[in-house]
Structure formats: structure tokens, C-alpha cells
Amino acid sequence: MRTAVTTFGYGRPEYFSRMLSSLGKCPEVLDGSVDVIHYLDGGEGSQQDELKELIESSGIPFTSIVLRPHNFGVGSQLIGARREVLDEQGYDRMVMVENDIELNSTYLTTLLALSDWAEQFSDAGTVQVWNVEAGTAEELLPHMNDVELTNRHFVSYCLTKRVWDAIKPTLYEYERKFLQKRPYNKRPHYRIRRFMKQVLRQSTQRHSGPMIDPPSEAVSNPFPSIPWRSAPTSQDAITSLALYKAGLHRLTTRVPHAFYFGVLGVHCSPELYETMGFNGQGHWQWATEDIPTAYNLRYHDDDGNWLNSFYR
């Protein structure tokens, strides 16, 4: 598949530099088998020139740098990038990498192999190889080939054109109604939650042909309820909701191949970082020989209980 790896930057050059350095250790980037496109938002506080200089002086191969002429905000930035890469530039799949995640050198190799495997199933959605799983290397290594359903934060993931075509009508409607002509941090939360309730009432798409087809007990609604005052209204939340209504399952390896370090950000604080369990992320620095070559779908925890996951 023709693959684009997209990164996203706005301010925080120390974050972006850490992410960029880790990306430069992935063999797919170094050998040019993927195209790296950097999206740098603009406006006050963007430090766009400094980030551009970081990229150009790093020596890490890239295809292009997209400089936004003003502050798009994270919602329009991420939706716009998917439109440009998958709708307009004709890529078959896209890896999205935010600026507060550090990748292991095995990250892209594992992620793209999982994507290739998932494409045989008509009900497979996005795939990721970042997860919040505690444990040492010795504890996690036996579980390298375990794959789970997830509704975790995206942070970094891969989606194909097939998946994007299934969910983009919902994302484009969200963008048109709530993100255009207003700052992202002033989006109308109550109106978005009403929109989310309307989407939830829509019928869920059914698929045919080869499918993952997990047991119903293993499938979790990312939004079992939409509290008016607290339901998330981000573009990530709408992406997760759109995938669920499209009948597509988000997949992740049980064992992480990246480390999320975004203690401070648009949607995170030190308190939330701890609440979400990010401070318990297990060992993730794997070697090439540790990369799985087969996958086992895991629906139960170690005590035999059904795994479940709401959006968080």
C-alpha cells in the first residue's frame, strides 16, 4: 500500500523533537518506504518556524512540510490532514502521529503488518500498536501477538482509505457544523453532544464477507451514554463514534510499541494522565526479533472476564 506517515506540531518544540527523533529510528522512514508529511499549525504560539527548522536540520527524511497559514486548531488540523492525504493525494493508508508520543524502532514495522492483516476483514477499523498495559519486558513478551478491541485514546494509529470512506461523512458533518469559523477551544459542546446523540440513534452498519465478527459480549459502545456536561466533544471522540456506527472495530496490540508522554496538552493534565493510567505504561523498547508474525484475538482478561473499553 502507498502509505503516508503524518505528524502534527503546534508549539512545544521539546515534545516535537522527542517524537521526531524516535520516528527517525524507524527503518521504514530511513529507507523511504513510507512518505513522511509534517503538518505544522499556525497562529500565535505555534512556533512554526522553530518546528520547521527542527525538521529540516534533523537529517530525518521527509516528503513535505505543510504550514498552516493560521491557527486551524487540532480538530480542523487532523480532519483536514485526512482529507488531503486520503481524498486528495490518493494514499491507500495513513499513520497519524501526534507530537507527544515516543515511538520504538519496531513501531511502524509492527503497525503496518497489523494493518495488512486487518485489511482481510471487512469489519476491521483503525489499528494501533500503542496501549496502556503495565508490565516488565519479561511479563509482556509472551503476549506480543495478542490483539484486542479498544476504545482508548487514539494518540497514534493507522487507518486505510476504506475505513476513512466509511466514517468521513460523519467527520465532515461535524467539521462543517461545529469547527468552521470558530476556534477549536470554543466549539459548541452542548450542540456537539446533541449531534452525538443523533448519530448514536442511527442504525449500525452490517458487513459481509470475511469478518473479525467478535462475540457481542466483546464489543463495547465507546459512548454508552452522553452526559450533557462531561461527554468529550473532540474530533477523536467523533472519530471513535463514527467507527462504532460504521460497524468497524478498533484494534490494538496488547503490548505497546510506543510511550505516550503528553502529561500537559489540550486534553490532558498531570491529574488526568494519572487517572487514565498513562503513568503505568509497561515496557515498550522491543527488538526486531520481538515483532509478532501472527496474531491472536483476545476477548477475555486473565481472570476470564470479558474485556470492555469505553472512549477515554
Q: What is the pTM of this model?
A: 0.95
**What pLDDT band is residue 265 in, cutting at 50, 70 and 90?**
low
Q: How confident is the model at residue 277 (pLDDT cuts 50, 70, 90)?
A: confident
Proportion of the chain above pLDDT 90, given as a percent: 88
Q: Each residue of 21-39: pLDDT tens digit?
A: 999 999 999 999 999 999 9
**How buried is 70 (Cβ within 10 angstroms: 0-12 exposed, 13-18 middle, 19+ buried)?**
exposed
More confident residue, 270 or 205: 205
The residue written with cell numbers 462543517 in the block is 176
Q: Is the pLDDT of residue 6 over 70?
A: yes
State residue 36's pLDDT score.
98
Joined grid coordinates for residue 187: 466549539
List, as one string, the DSSP characters of 257-296. SEEE--SSBTTB-HHHHHHTTGGG-------GGGS-SS-E
**Is residue 204's pLDDT more than 90?**
yes
- Reported as a single tens digit per residue, the pLDDT across 54-88 is 999 999 999 999 999 999 999 999 999 999 999 99
Which value, in Å, is the radius of gyration of the alpha carbons in the chain?
19
List Cβ neighbours of 209 (8 Å cut-off, separation of 6 or more).
122
Instruction: Indicate the pLDDT class of residue 267, thresholds 50, 70 and 90.
Output: low
Spatial separation of the C-alpha atoms in residues 79 and 83, rounded to whole Å:
6
- In this model, does residue 272 exceed pLDDT 70? yes
CB atoms within 10 A of CB 163: 25
CATH T-level fold of 3-297? Spore Coat Polysaccharide Biosynthesis Protein SpsA; Chain A (3.90.550)
Q: Report residue 266's pLDDT band, with 50, 70 and 90 as the boundaries.
A: low
- How many CB atoms sit inside 10 A of residue 304's CB? 6
Reading the block at residue 29, the C-alpha cell is 522512514
Return mean pLDDT, the chain. Answer: 95
Whether the pLDDT of residue 280 is over 90: the answer is: no
Say what the pLDDT of residue 181 is.
86
Residue 287: pLDDT over 70: yes
At residue 116, the pLDDT reads: 98
Q: How far is it, in rounded angstroms, from Cα 168 to Cα 26?
A: 29
Q: What is the pLDDT of residue 123?
A: 98
pLDDT at 57: 98
Give 218-240 pLDDT, tens digit per residue.
999 999 999 999 999 999 999 99
Tens-digit pLDDT profile for residues 145-181: 999 999 988 889 999 999 999 999 999 999 999 999 8
pLDDT of residue 291: 96
C-alpha cell at 8: 502534527
Asked if pLDDT for residue 213 goes beyond 70, the answer is: yes
